[in-house]
Amino acid sequence: MSDPTLEFIHCPDAQGGHRMAYWRWGNLASSHVVLCVHGLTRQGRDFDTLAQALCDKAGDALQVICPDVAGRGQSEWLKDPQGYQIPFYAADMLALLAQLQPSTLDWVGTSMGGLMGIAVAGQPELPPFAQVRRLVLNDVGPAIEWQALQRIGQYLGKVPMFDTEQEAADALWAIASSFGPHTPEQWLTLTRPQIKPADDGSGRLTLRYDPALAEPFKAVTAESAAQGEAMLWQAYDQITAQTLLLRGADSDLLATATAHAMTQRGPKARLIEFAGVGHAPTLVAHDQVDAVVSFLLG
């Protein structure tokens, strides 16, 4: 597998701006961009397997861009934790797209990255560089199950210390086993970009995300979640991009009824479910990768 290049963009905010990192695969001169946006506590290297498969299939015909959303990976942490919310993340993605200026844009969003995709693709009258041609929503929709939010809140913001990579991998697997079957090698590969040396000089390892991500998340109430759901359905109904919805058949975040509704309204997504997987498919398994590659490039 080849390696991506790491690049940065300055994104504006009310505190003077922040630096967002992104990983770039493929032909850097191509105007066809596949933007892959990760989940809540993850980072852009989650898409290494998918990005390589897309580049292998398309040759020089596209580039794959995988940002580390603010507060994760190689990106800066925000001065104001209230910026860790979907509207601000979407604004960062638009700033990135304004720099890239794609003529063809496809979006792959896992969980939180899918919510950003809905927010962007559901906006009318965006400039041409931000108009999504094909949208992949990975185990997420406008309605998110409340019990799943409560489950995520139990670990979000707790940043433990580890003595070894394997210890970190084991700890992350304990909270992410719903991602579905992985070999030990696959999981260790997904874990390595998630960890970094601790700042205390102890030689131990810690997670590569800002614990303050938890602040706006834990302020969500059932009432505010319902208001956000109504806004996301409104955006979803305005999407014109061809849309593929992926769902882990055991997902506790994307209910079967929500997935079905998404096939009947708005862009009328095509639904593919993966047995033995919960929230969320990691797009590492062959059948998951093939589904996305075929949808985007078939």
pLDDT, averaged in runs of 10, over the chain (298 residues): 90 96 96 98 97 95 98 98 96 98 98 98 95 98 92 88 96 93 96 94 94 92 91 98 98 97 98 97 98 96
Given this model, what pLDDT does residue 144 score?
92
- 68 lies in the same domain as 99: yes
Total count of domains within the chain:
2
Is residue 111 assigned to a domain?
yes
- Say how many C-beta atoms besides its own lie within 10 A of residue 184's C-beta: 11
How many residues would you count in the chain?
Answer: 298
Is residue 216 assigned to a domain?
no
- 290 lies in the same domain as 246: yes
Is residue 187 assigned to a domain?
yes
**Looking at the DSSP assignment, which residues form a beta bridge with residue 195?**
207
- 148 lies in the same domain as 164: no
- 273 lies in the same domain as 131: yes
- 34 lies in the same domain as 138: yes
Task: State how far the alpha carbon of 261 is from the alpha carbons of 141, 254, 267, 270, in Å.
Answer: 10, 11, 11, 11
Task: State how far the alpha carbon of 113 is from the alpha carbons of 2, 46, 61, 68, 264, in Å.
Answer: 24, 12, 24, 11, 22
Residue with tokens 């093939």: 290
Task: State how far the alpha carbon of 99 is from the alpha carbons of 11, 69, 92, 102, in Å.
Answer: 11, 16, 11, 9
- 169 lies in the same domain as 291: no
Tokens of 128: 């041409």
- 226 lies in the same domain as 195: no
Is residue 97 assigned to a domain?
yes
Is residue 217 assigned to a domain?
no
Given this model, what pLDDT does residue 201 score?
87
Is residue 271 assigned to a domain?
yes
Q: What pTM, to 2 d.p., does this model score?
A: 0.97
Given this model, what pLDDT does residue 2 score?
75
- 121 lies in the same domain as 258: yes
Q: What sign for the dihedral angle of Cα 62, 141, 96, 8?
A: negative
- 47 lies in the same domain as 189: no
- 64 lies in the same domain as 182: no
Do 274 and 254 contact (CB within 8 A), yes or no? no
Strands (E), the chain: 5-11, 18-26, 32-37, 63-68, 104-110, 132-138, 161-162, 195-197, 205-207, 242-248, 270-274
How far is 52 from 31, CA to CA, in rounded Å?
Answer: 18
Domain boundary at 143, 173, 208, which? 208
Owning domain of residue 116? 5-155+222-297
- 128 lies in the same domain as 187: no
Is residue 214 assigned to a domain?
no
Is residue 215 assigned to a domain?
no
- 188 lies in the same domain as 43: no
Q: What is the CATH number of the domain that holds 44?
A: 3.40.50.1820
